Structure 1
Amino acid sequence: MKIKFSFFFSLLHIINSFACDCPPIKKKNIVENGIKNYDLVFYGEVIKSDTINETYSFKVIDFFKGKVNGKYIEGKTNSNCSILPKKGDLWIVYTEINNDSYIDLSICSPSQSFEYGLGFAIPPPPRPKLIDDKNILALEIGLNLQEYKNENLKTFIYQLEKLRQYKQNQNAVSENMKNDFYQKILIVSLIVNAILFLILIFVLIKRK
């Protein structure tokens, strides 16, 4: 049942994607381009998915860019390019927050789940050839599916590690900026105290 549902779920979005004109997603510099082009980037788990109203909720596991109130983010589909994620899936999300406070998970973004590839890519079909033996055909499909899963897993881990490295670097920059700010405050404070001390000495000398 789970396999049938997953296949049907994929098929619906494949049909929708035919009406969605997206530029190709290049894996080279994917994280850098994603951070540059989107205001909200996070890693999260889908905790709710409503197929009737086409809304969903993410529980944020890790933030990389942007700010929201709390650890939960609401989303809904609003175009043929939208994705309705499945409950329980883990996602790396690049998106914007719309005026209605919802996000839109788009096929055109470099967002990807642990299960599906970039742009909601699906496993490639078996190589075109005549296969009379159903067992061989099933094996061919299984091999293609496993190859797809391995490639998707590598891309997912690559993105997650690059994003965590980016966050670590940003935190280091923020810490350095904070230290620089404190040093400047200290220097200004020392200068002000020195001036006040000189004024005090001048006043005492003048009184004598």
Structure 2
Amino acid sequence: MKLHNLILLIICLSITNKSFACKCVEYDKEKMVEYGLKKYDMVFYGELIKRDTINQTYSFKIIELFKGIFISKTIEGVSEGSDCGLFPDKKGLWIVYGNFNNDNKLSLSMCSPTQSQDFGLGWPPPPEFKRDKFGKIIEPTETDSEINYLKFNIETLRSFIYQLEKLRAYKLSQNKLPKNQKNVIYDKALIISLIINTLLFSMLIFILVKKRFSSNKQISE
């Protein structure tokens, strides 16, 4: 029980420290999807499949893309160590809002509505302290802490489902765009795909030529 309360205290202290370093624009939860779609270039529902705590890098498998153009099903990201930078902490399902940095890596922010299925926006608040009839603070029990975490997990799941439904509604509305606008989006994706495939094909030819040249050189020697 004491260990559980100590963990809550550490979390609260870490939040306090971060609050001075990172200042986020406040937005209503009802408007968080609209805010995220407007501010961030990439929005998707995906699975965190890899994370490297040493290099602060991570990889997501994109399950459903809502905003942005990305050919590959796997997207690489990096935490750049800024005050508001976010490093995904747990593998599993996520709703992600992010931008690309100068190295074309995904960058996430604590100020975005990004969340996992198991852990929502922010941290769970500590249990409320109760007082006895003499005004003395009653230490929260282990049951109080477990109930508090359960409430937070329920709210997290509600938020996750709410965001997913709103994003799918947005995607459906985009599918009703005029045909000429759809063609523009499709043409951009096709051009990017052709460029990438051309580069990959050029690299393959270069590797084959280099390998053949090395083999001929060894034979001549």
Structure 1 length normalisation: TM-score?
0.72
Q: In the TM superposition, what are the counterparts of 1:139-158 in structure 2 within 5 Å?
A: 139-158=143-162
Cα drift, residue 16 of structure 1: 6.6
Equivalent position amino acid for 2:162 in 1: Y
1:124 equivalent in structure 2: 125
1:41 equivalent in structure 2: 43
Q: In the TM superposition, what are the counterparts of 1:192-207 in structure 2 within 5 Å?
A: none
Cα drift, residue 177 of structure 1: 5.9
Say if 2:62 is the partner of 1:60.
yes
What are the ranges of 5 or more consecutive residues in structure 1 without an aligned counterpart? Answer: 180-208
1:93 equivalent in structure 2: 96
Question: In 2, distance between residues paired with 1:149 and 1:127?
Answer: 17
Q: In 2, are the aligned partners of 1:82 and 1:107 still within 8 Å (CA)? A: yes
1:69 equivalent in structure 2: 71
Q: In 2, are the aligned partners of 1:16 and 1:80 still within 8 Å (CA)? A: no
Bigger Cα Rg: 1
Equivalent position amino acid for 1:128 in 2: F
Say if 2:111 is the partner of 1:108.
yes
Corresponding residue pairs, total: 168
Structure 2 length normalisation: TM-score?
0.68
Cα drift, residue 89 of structure 1: 2.2
Cα drift, residue 173 of structure 1: 1.9
- Cα shift readout 1:81-100 (whole Å, capped 9, x = no counterpart): 11211352211111111110
Question: In 2, distance between residues paired with 1:167 and 1:44?
Answer: 15
Equivalent position amino acid for 1:142 in 2: E
Equivalent position amino acid for 1:60 in 2: I
Percent identity (aligned): 49
When the two chains are superposed, the root-mean-square deviation of aligned CA atoms in Å is 2.6
